[in-house]
Structure 1
Amino acid sequence: MSTEYAPEHTPRLNLGQHLPEFYKAMIKVDGASRQGLDPVIAELVKIRASQLNHCAFCIDMHSKDALAAGETPERIIQLSAWEESRHFYTEKEAAALELAEAVTVLTDGFVPDEVWEKAAKHFDEAELSSLLAVITVINAWNRIAVSTRMVAGHYTPGSTAHRPKTD
């Protein structure tokens, strides 16, 4: 039995090709944002923000990166319903996920004090700074990938193939 999938869409624009200095700067900011933050928490936060932003490209990339870093498929699968399945996550991870949601979805125009205080209870100021930076950067990447319709499914962890050519 053969399954025929929908055809792959084409990207609208290769931002890295047209604005190489901006794209290189984003990659540099991305690397700097993760300094001092547990890589597992960074990937979980990136996946969750990408789910909220409907960014298939980033969900694919960061799920694969998380798996390559030793994360379990079960915890990645449960991320979209992490509040219902809190028993899969530590209190620190849950605080990071809650902050990621509050920063990503600013429908009320602010991050609630109780969400910030919960994160501050689990992260020192340096870690909290990195966490906020990671959340901010993944939201920027999501907006780039969704707007330009970057195609999910071709990323390989550790490769730079996901980066559009800048020369």
Structure 2
Amino acid sequence: MTAAQRMNFTKAAPKVFKAMIALDAAARADLDPTLVELVQIRASQVNHCAYCLDMHTKDARKAGESEERIYQLNAWREAGLYTEKEQAALALTEAVTVLTDGFVPDAVYEEAARHFEESELAQLIALIFTINAWNRIAVSTRKIPGTE
């Protein structure tokens, strides 16, 4: 049984929504579209955001991502399907999303910094905190997958 959506955030906070759209566009600029979707799917998996999982798996397919890599993303470390750069981005995604110990481990950050130029790394961090914000909006308002 699916719980009812609590509110339409877009209508309830249109200025915030508009700012989020601008932040989202800025965060993804200059990053590979497939990598963007992998990061957004992985953060959404960690955050249990069904709405964002639905949206970003569809967007990943449109960006040319394979079904196999989408299906195995939840086990990316074991799958052997992702490049070193993608793995570094996914590890950073998990570290920034969870913040279990209150920080991002140096080894995770340094591995990401090895694969991304500083400006790209800044974009990646922005992408990660942006999808986390979207996840929190969708989860807290119970946004229904497949709806606008």
Q: Normalising by the residue count of structure 1, what TM-score does the alignment of the two structures yield?
A: 0.86
Cross-structure match for 1:66: 60
How far residue 9 of structure 1 moved from its aligned partner, in angstroms, is: 3.2
Q: 2: CA distance between counterparts of 1:37 and 1:68?
A: 16
Cross-structure match for 1:116: 109
How far residue 10 of structure 1 moved from its aligned partner, in angstroms, is: 2.0
Match of 1:30 among 24, 44, 47: 24
Q: 2: CA distance between counterparts of 1:150 and 1:18?
A: 13
Cross-structure match for 1:77: 71
Q: 2: CA distance between counterparts of 1:151 and 1:14?
A: 10
For residues 34-61 of structure 1, what are the alpha-carbon distances to aligned partners after superposition, in whole Å with 9 as ceiling and x for unaligned?
1111111110000000000000000110
**1:106 to 2:99 alignment:** yes
State the one-letter code of the partner of 1:103.
Answer: V
Radius of gyration: which is bigger? Answer: 1
SS in 1 for 2:104: coil
State the one-letter code of the partner of 2:133.
Answer: A
SS in 2 for 1:82: helix
> Percentage identity across aligned positions?
60
Match of 2:12 among 18, 26, 34: 18
Structure 1 unaligned segments of length 5 or more: list them: 1-5, 156-161, 163-167
Match of 2:88 among 88, 95, 114: 95
Q: 1: CA distance between counterparts of 2:56 and 2:4?
A: 21
Q: Normalising by the residue count of structure 2, what TM-score does the alignment of the two structures yield?
A: 0.97
SS in 2 for 1:83: helix
Cross-structure match for 1:44: 38
For residues 94-115 of structure 1, what are the alpha-carbon distances to aligned partners after superposition, in whole Å with 9 as ceiling and x for unaligned?
0000000000011100000000
Tell me if the contact between 1:36 and 1:126 (Cα under 8 Å) persists in the aligned partners: no
Runs of 4+ in structure 1 deviating by more than 4 angstroms, as ranges, are: none
Structure 2 unaligned segments of length 5 or more: list them: none
